[in-house]
Amino acid sequence: MFFLMKKAWHHVFLLRLQYGKAAPLVDSGPRNTLFPFLLGGVLVVAAIWPRSVPEPLTGIALTGRILEIIDAKYVEEVDQDELLTNGMNRMLSELDRNSVYYPPRRAEEFQNEMNGTLFGIGVILQVSDEAPRITHVLAGGPADQSGIPADARLISIDGEPCEDWDLSEISSSIKGERGTSVTLVVEAAGTTSTHTPIRDEVSIPSLTLLERIESSDPSSWGLVRLQQFQPGTTEELRTALKADGQPPLAGLVIDLRNNPGGVLEEAVSFCSLFLEEGQEIVSTRNLRDDNDDSFTQFAEKTGDWLDLPLVILIDGNSASASETVSAALRDHGRAVLVGEPSFGKWTVQGVYHLDNSETPALLKLTTDFFFPPTGERLSYDDRGLPNGLVPDVEVSTGDDKKRALYDFWSERFYSELSKPERGWTRSTRAEAIMLPGEETDEALETALELLEDQDRYQQLLEAPTLNPRSPR
């Protein structure tokens, strides 16, 4: 009997060695107890292990631990901020394509983009095989005030030759904090000169072009191109439409091609220029059962241009707020849509400050779907959510012509910004639709034909819906 018990204790000792320090026989808590039992001539030893098991790491704690190990043990030095930014955005991409994390260094830039402002000197740059060039100088900006000429070769920035730099290097060197200076050496018309502009806020208007096109009657058609919907867009257009000394317009073409959207509130204000007070513009809805933040936005007041015929140009790059404006004005019989189906971004993003610092990181997160007033000219997916907006008159444009059109409009826009005073330019119909290389802007030509043929215009306004409205 003694021998059996002795062998049993030896067995327990081996068990202890097997587990090592990770499984001690004696814990810091109550003393473990060994119970020897003699069963059928065989001694069985049972051990009771009263120790707590820690919970596994999850969420933020797990992420922090992984970053800690990477920082201490990875095979080479790692930029943790860059790693975290990339990781956050890959995670957010699993939600949707519009939710984005902006670290502090990008957050301010994002906000400036949304507001149409930047801190720089007000020049348009181009980098080619020959050398970087300043193609345009914005009227009234710091570069203009310091005498920097347009169409100038850029030789150096703050004493550093920059002929071999790429566009991002040049841009980041010229931009900087408000009130600081940058020294540029440029060459134009065979003359080299040095300039030291003081960086300041540079505002980029959202109305990239205002053009009056001759019509068949004494009045004229208006053409407005919008870069995006940013604070001040509505006021820009209101002021332009009320410009003194101008005859009333016979119709207005609103070009939203390549317009990615912008601020939803500004889109609502924009629609209010052409609608009666109380008409629905857009409704938003969160699909979570525990969220009741859905709301509907209406025209703020009766607009001053209720009877002005409208044609809106859209394409596959017209998204978000551009789609809100197009759908609302179409649904209320105020506009005909011409071009190609829109992008189909029917979501709203909220922007959240992630801390209380002076330059906080930002989270742009999709919070709601939005829906047009009636759903006319929409198709819906199997979730009841809208796809791209279908135009009333489809005019397809090839990829090559789209690029040419974009380059052409960009050049016109920058040229306009270089003028001391911006306002309505005048052109003939042939001039308005002409593009470089004897090409024409077929979508704009179609829009002008509709404004000229009011019978067909009215027929399109009254056309039945393409798809039944999906329940919201």
CATH, residue 149: 2.30.42.10
Amino acid at 315: D
Domain count, the chain: 4
Residues 215, 198 share a domain: no
Q: What is the mean pLDDT of each successive set of 10 residues along the chain, which is 472 residues long?
A: 40 36 38 43 47 75 88 91 90 91 83 72 83 89 93 93 87 86 94 94 83 84 93 93 83 95 93 96 84 83 95 95 96 96 91 86 91 86 85 90 83 82 86 86 96 94 66 44
Residues 137, 23 share a domain: no
In a domain, 79, yes or no: yes
Rounded to whole angstroms, the Cα distance separating 311 from 303 reads 17
Residues 409, 326 share a domain: yes
Q: What pLDDT, on a 0 to 100 scale, did the predictor assign at position 207?
A: 85
Rounded to whole angstroms, the Cα distance separating 225 from 241 reads 14
Query: Alpha helix locations (H) across 316-398?
Result: 321-331
Residues 370, 233 share a domain: yes
Domain boundary among 203, 238, 256: 203
Question: Which distant-in-sequence residues (6+ apart) come within 8 Å of 147 by Cβ?
Answer: 193, 195
Domain boundary among 203, 222, 254: 203
Residues 227, 193 share a domain: no
Residues 321, 212 share a domain: yes
Residues 76, 42 share a domain: no
315 in the Ramachandran plot: left (φ > 0), alpha (ψ -120 to 50) or beta? beta
Residues 152, 68 share a domain: no
In a domain, 108, yes or no: no
Domain that holds residue 381: 207-461
Structure tokens at 411: 């050049």
Residues 164, 63 share a domain: no
Rounded to whole angstroms, the Cα distance separating 75 from 64 reads 19
In a domain, 467, yes or no: no
What is the b/e burial string over 182-206, where b = at least 16 CB atoms within 10 angstroms of the residue's CB? bebbbeeeeeeeebebebbebebbb
Residues 455, 342 share a domain: yes
Structure tokens at 224: 């407005």
Residues 377, 259 share a domain: yes
Domain boundary among 162, 177, 203: 203
In a domain, 106, yes or no: no
Q: What pLDDT, on a 0 to 100 scale, did the predictor assign at position 34?
A: 43
Q: What pLDDT, on a 0 to 100 scale, did the predictor assign at position 21?
A: 38
User: Checking DSSP bridges between strand 335-339 and strand 393-394, what pairing results, if any?
Assistant: parallel
Residue 198 per-residue DSSP state: B
Note the residue count of the chain: 472
Residues 336, 266 share a domain: yes
Q: What pLDDT, on a 0 to 100 scale, did the predictor assign at position 116?
A: 63
Structure tokens at 311: 């044609």
Q: What pLDDT, on a 0 to 100 scale, did the predictor assign at position 18?
A: 38
